[in-house]
Amino acid sequence: MRVARIAARQHGVVTTAQLEDVGIGRRGVGIRVQRGRLHRIHRGVYAVGHPGLSAEGRWMAAVLACGPGAVLSHASAVVLWGLLRPIAGAVDVSVPTTAGRRQRPGIRLHRCRSLVAAMPGDADPAPVTRNRGIPVTTVSRTLADIRGALPSRLERRARRQAEVLGLPLGGGASDRTRSDLESAFLRLCRRDRLPAPEVNAEVAGFTVDFLWRSAELVVETDSYAYHRGRVAFEDDRARDLALRELGFDVIRVADRQLDEESRRVAALVADALHPRLQAP
């Protein structure tokens, strides 16, 4: 029962040290492994009752296997925080030392002295916390860790999701885009030196992708995945009609046009902006 209570707090896993604390030594562990009551996950870490662990169980087992001060980090942490979908591969764990800790199968080990627990009164506390009971890097530290470690599109997606969830980002906020397609259009505006638009702005109860308010121009970036089907088609047209009745010009840009005809798209937007911005 004592083992079960420990495992319940740790997503179904325990360490040999914790087993020893309740009076189960090496021989007792071996007997329970033979009887199928303990299942070895990593050296010194066992699943209790059955080997089928949840994602949280796998993460906790990896952290426990790496010793005191270890925390979930990088790609694994970004999934735990709910910023990306599950990513296949080894579990990322960071440890607060540069000293040699042995790599373990199924674990990608990162060494970083800045994770050492802060002393009371320290101005810069260690960037670690707990989520679902699992030691993990903070959201801001996690986002910093995945920079360069994951494709840039996934990094942007994670940062946008953190904003949506209202999590503390640290550093600057994102560009307010909600998709890679919107980010691509914003890069096009910067590249071709178009006036900066408002991003995901409100107009008469509608949220539009890009807005030049003084020019009364709206640009919507459409991907097939989110705008296919009769309902989406009819909703888009009804929305465009309502905006035009309010005096706004609406330009719709498809993802393929951004990829293959970006210069043409930029010229079209510039031509639409110029007379409106020049008008008295």
Confidence of residue 279 (pLDDT cuts 50, 70, 90): low
CA 27 → CA 15, 21, 33, 264, distances in Å? 15, 14, 10, 74
Going from the C-alpha of 114 to that of each of 94, 98, 123, 124, 150, the distances in angstroms are 10, 10, 13, 10, 21
Strand 71-72 vs strand 45-48: parallel, antiparallel, or unpaired?
unpaired
- Residue 147 DSSP one-character state: B
Question: What is this structure's pTM?
Answer: 0.63
What is the tens place of the pLDDT at every residue in 35-49?
999 999 999 999 999
Average pLDDT over residues 70-99: 92
pLDDT tens by residue, 210-253: 999 989 999 998 765 444 556 656 767 888 899 999 999 999 99
Residue type (1 letter), 122: D
Instruction: Classify residue 68 as exposed, middle or buried by CB count within 10 Å of its CB (0-12, 13-18, 19+).
Output: exposed
Write the CB contacts of 39 (distance below 8 Å, at least 6 apart in sequence): 33, 46, 47, 50, 51
pLDDT tens readout for residues 126-140:
789 999 999 999 999
At 121 the pLDDT is: 47
User: pLDDT of 121-176, one tens digit each?
Assistant: 444 567 899 999 999 999 999 998 998 889 888 888 888 788 778 887 765 445 55
Other CB atoms closer than 10 Å to residue 83's CB: what's the count?
24
Domain layout of the chain by residue ranges: 1-53, 64-174, 180-278
pLDDT tier at 267, thresholds 50, 70, 90: very high
For 275, the token pair is 């007379």
Give the percent of the chain with pLDDT over 70: 85
What pLDDT, on the 0 to 100 scale, is given for residue 266? 93
* CA-based max dimension of the chain: 88
Between the two ends of the chain, the Cα-to-Cα distance in Å is 80
Looking at residue 176, what is its pLDDT? 55
Domain covering 180-278 in this structure, CATH number: 3.40.960.10
User: Which of these, 56, 32, 109, 54, lies nearest to 46 by C-alpha position?
Assistant: 32
The pLDDT of residue 203 is above 50: yes
Report whether pLDDT(97) > 90. no
